[in-house]
DNA sequence: ATTATTGTTGGTAG
DNA sequence: TCTACCAACAATAA
């Protein structure tokens, strides 16, 4: 499901559900998603861990465990891929999917891939709960590790955690003679967490054609893009916090080919750019 | 039946 | 070492 805002939303959920909780029973059979890839080893190393913090960098999540945890099981890295999400189930209550990017009709635990049974004490009462990872396409990853993994270490600055340094961006983009500005923004070593939707929305807001060369974007445009990224990330985050997941498409132009541009009413167009679908207003987004 | 989908990675070539 | 391009991964939904 996820780009930066959805993953941050997931982080806040996991923090509420799991911080201070102990993993009593871990269940998975999916050698494709978890590491260590032998599910029995994954389960064994994870059982008994206590979650002390839930962090996010870009589209990656990191659960930290108690410092007494075995050296090889200090942290759990999670990537939701394209279609992963987490459920929360309290014993005795109905388990209902809450993936904010899935339509209400497709809610299901049919594609459960891993389950974490936890106990935690809330106001003096010990509660039995479960956190469930669901992922139809199985592109997600749940990686138990001691040290940081390369995927985490190689990430660029996170727009929310670190802010956007326009001067540093300009330096990186200057050398990208063939790459488009949209592809450059989606490069996770440039900015961690910007995906197809957020790039589309930000470039629309800044009135820049996504096909513009990255090296052709001047400092003024870059400052505008930084502002637009903050705008679309915050907007998406607010939409998610509202929690009414029945709303089909909360975005301004993404997925709205043929609809009038919210700014100038020109019909929006769609095309492929670097293998990803891209929506623009052909009138008010111009080439640099 | 066909096309499209919110993402990453590993190979190859330059 | 850096950049660029592509196929692969999997399961729907329209």
pLDDT tens-digit series, residues A65-107: 999 999 999 999 999 998 999 999 987 665 554 444 443 334 4
Where residue A174 falls among pLDDT bands split at 50, 70, 90?
A: confident
Going A244 to A240 to A119 to A23, the CA torsion angle's sign is: positive
What is the largest distance, in Å, between two alpha-carbon atoms of chain A? 61
pLDDT at position A5: 94
Positions on chain B within 7 A of a protein C-beta: 4-9
User: What is the β-pairing status of strands A34-35 and A141-145?
Assistant: parallel
Nearest nucleotide, C1' to the C-alpha of A214? C3
Q: State which residues between 120 and 159 of chain A bring their CB within 7 Å of strand C.
A: 136-139
Q: ω into residue A3 within 30 of 0, thus cis?
A: no
Residues sharing a CB contact under 8 Å with residue A93, sequence separation 6 or more, in sequence order? none
**pLDDT tens column, A203-222:** 999 999 999 999 999 999 99
Distances (CA, A) of A30 to A27, A43, A84, A85, A112: 9, 11, 13, 15, 10
A219-242 and A4-18 helices, crossing angle to 10°: 40
pLDDT at position A1: 60
Catalytic residue among A11, A49, A59, A113: A59
pLDDT at position A102: 43
Catalytic residue among A19, A227, A263, A276: A276
Average pLDDT, chain A: 89
Q: Is pLDDT at A29 greater than 60 in this prediction?
A: yes
First to last CA, chain A: 31
A11 in active site: no
When comparing pLDDT for A28 and A102, which is higher?
A28
Q: CA-to-C1' distance for A268 and C14, Å? A: 20
A265 in active site: no
A2 in active site: yes
Please state whether strand B lies within 7 Å of residue A201 at its CB atom: no
The Cα A173–Cα A248 span in angstroms is 34
Burial class (CB in 10 A: 0-12, 13-18, 19+), A246: exposed
A276 in active site: yes
């Amino acid at each position: 499901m996820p780009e930066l805002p959805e993953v941050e939303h997931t982080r806040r959920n996991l923090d509420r559900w799991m911080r201070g909780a102990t993993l009593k029973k871990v269940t998975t059979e999916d050698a494709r998603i978890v590491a260590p890839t032998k599910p029995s080893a994954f389960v064994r190393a994870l059982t008994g861990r206590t979650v002390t913090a839930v962090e996010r960098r870009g589209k990656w999540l990191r659960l930290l465990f108690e410092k007494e945890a075995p050296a090889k099981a200090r942290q759990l890295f999670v990537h939701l891929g394209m279609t992963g999400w987490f459920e929360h189930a309290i014993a005795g209550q109905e388990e209902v999917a809450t993936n904010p990017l899935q339509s209400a009709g497709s809610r299901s635990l049919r594609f459960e891939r891993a389950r974490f049974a936890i106990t935690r004490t809330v106001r003096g009462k010990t509660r039995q709960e479960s956190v469930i990872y669901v992922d139809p396409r199985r592109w997600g990853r749940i990686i138990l590790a001691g040290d940081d993994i390369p995927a985490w270490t190689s990430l660029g600055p996170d727009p929310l955690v670190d802010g956007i340094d326009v001067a540093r961006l300009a330096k990186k983009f200057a050398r990208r003679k063939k790459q488009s500005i949209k592809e450059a923004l989606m490069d996770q070593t440039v900015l961690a967490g910007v995906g197809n939707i957020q790039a589309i929305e930000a470039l629309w807001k800044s009135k820049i054609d996504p096909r513009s060369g990255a090296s052709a974007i001047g400092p003024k445009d870059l400052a505008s893009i930084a502002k637009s990224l903050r705008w679309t990330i915050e907007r998406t985050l607010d939409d998610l916090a509202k929690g009414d997941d029945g709303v089909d498409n909360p975005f301004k132009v993404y997925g709205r080919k043929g609809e009038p541009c919210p700014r100038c009413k020109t019909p929006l167009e769609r095309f492929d750019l670097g293998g990803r679908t891209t929506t623009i207003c052909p009138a008010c987004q111009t080439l640099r």
